[in-house]
Amino acid sequence: MSVKLNTRQVGDVSVVDVAGRITLGEGSSALRDTLREMVTKNQKKILLNLGDVSYIDSSGIGELVSGFTTVANSGGTLKLLNLTKRVKDLLQITKLYTVFDVHDDEASAVRSFA
């Protein structure tokens, strides 16, 4: 049970399409490694497309938070796109929904980085 990550560029925004389950183990560490690599490559505008994330546990939430902080500390911004109802509910009950900038449309999400 793991996660699939696909990275693409839309202008100067790096979009990471995440699919599967972000849970303790392979799933959360794959996301962590990808985000760290992007920060190392000085990518400042990162959009996580979580449209195909069916499931996230507290470790997965931890990785989102860690990614958010790491990117912010390097002077960049990490935003979220296309939350499923389940992921949105989880972020709401953990009071993280308002911490992240969440979008439901890719084009406007990309524009919002300007």
Partner 1 sequence: MTFLAGVIYSGHSTSRTILGSARGSARVTGNMPDLARHGSEAVERFLDSTLASVDHAEEIASGMAQLAGFDEDDLMKIGIAVREAVVNAVVHGNRYNANKKVRFSVVKNSERLTVRVADEGEGFDSEHLPDPLAPENLLRTSGRGIFLIRSFMDELEINRLRAGGTELVLIKYKLAK
Distance of CA 91 to the CA centre of its chain: 12
All residues at 6 or more sequence positions from 98 whose CB lies less than 8 Å from its CB, including other chains: none
- Length of the chain in residues, anyone? 114
Site string for partner 1, 6-45 (x = CB under 8 A): -----------------xxx--------------------
Nearest to 56 by CA among 1, 6, 14: 1
Question: Which positions from 73 through 102 interact with partner 1, judged by CB under 8 A?
Answer: 86, 90, 93-96, 99
Contact status, residue 46 vs residue 9, Cβ threshold 8 Å: no
- For the bound state, the minimum distance from the C-beta of residue 93 to partner 1, rounded and expressed in Å, comes to 5
Question: Which positions from 47 through 76 interact with partner 1, judged by CB under 8 A?
Answer: 55, 57-59, 61-63, 65-66, 68-69
Task: Please give the residue ranges that form the binding site for partner 1 (CB under 8 A).
Answer: 1, 23-25, 55, 57-59, 61-63, 65-66, 68-69, 86, 90, 93-96, 99
